[in-house]
Amino acid sequence: MQLQDILYSQGFGTRRVCAGLVQQGHVSVAGEVATDASLDLPVQGFQFRVDGVDWPYQEKAYLMLHKPAGTECSRKPGTYPSIYTLLPAPLRQRPQKGATQGVQAVGRLDQDTTGLLLLTDDGQFIHRMSSPKHHVPKVYEARVRHAIEPRQIERLLAGVVLDDDPKPVRAAACEALGEHLLQLTLTEGKYHQVKRMIAAVSNRVEGLHRARIGGLVLPADLAPGQWRWLSAADLAGLKAVQPESA
């Protein structure tokens, strides 16, 4: 693939802009400043540098972000800053089918909810992680106002009815981590589901954090607002989730 096409595919602008980056000496390959935008290069394992920042070639982008409180999972936020402002421009500009779309969040977290958020430009991956048919477990830690009672955990495991759905929804797992700290595992994602489930058992969420998706745990060294590429092991563990048997 030509160097200018590689840069284009990774979100560095139009092919003309990418050719200009090379011609102006902004791009390095194998430690040397590149001078030929039409240079053919193998993309497997390819890495390059733009303005001193290293970039690995990724046919599809798969990221994890530690979402901080006070951010919205929207490109057009209403009140709070968008999570997309936490990402470098190339990730927001990656082209898809000839249009600049960038990576997208896999599901959403409320503005006041923190924790693990996946982002990608792979539509099939988004569907696989988001569809209730695949029952991908998501683990939340909820700090609640009132002391947790055993009967509340029992009801969350048995199922509670939310006001917009007569079918009960239940936690796949639920345990108290402290007097006011509850850990819930859900395999579907309804609007404000954790908050509404806990309200249904006469308690109130005062802080919510997503700690895990499938087998992927939010790394302790990934600070709020930081992101990183998913490793091959991370990705394999997420993709290994199987759909429910018929």
CATH number at residue 34: 3.10.290.10
Write out the residue range of the structural domain in which residue 198 sits.
Answer: 137-213
Do 90 and 155 sit in the same domain of this protein?
no
CATH number at residue 101: 3.30.70.580
CATH number at residue 207: 3.30.70.1560
Helix or strand (DSSP H, E) at 143: strand 138-144
Point out the catalytic residue in the list 110, 112, 122, 164: 110
The answer to whether residue 245 is domain-embedded is no
* DSSP β-bridge partners for residue 96: 99
Q: Which residue has the tokens 């840069």?
A: 7
pLDDT of residue 194: 95
210 exposure class (CB count in 10 Å sphere: 0-12, 13-18, 19+): buried
Q: Which residue has the tokens 């759905």?
A: 165
The structure's pTM equals 0.91
Do 182 and 162 sit in the same domain of this protein?
yes
List of the chain residues with pLDDT < 50: 242-246
Q: What total of structural domains would you count in the chain?
A: 3
pLDDT of residue 164: 72
pLDDT of residue 246: 30
pLDDT of residue 100: 65
Whether 110 is catalytic is yes
Helical H runs in the chain?
3-9, 15-23, 89-92, 123-130, 150-158, 193-200, 232-239
Do 73 and 118 sit in the same domain of this protein?
yes
33 exposure class (CB count in 10 Å sphere: 0-12, 13-18, 19+): exposed
- For the segment 149-187, what is each residue's pLDDT rounded down to a tens digit? 999 999 999 999 988 778 899 999 999 999 999 999 999
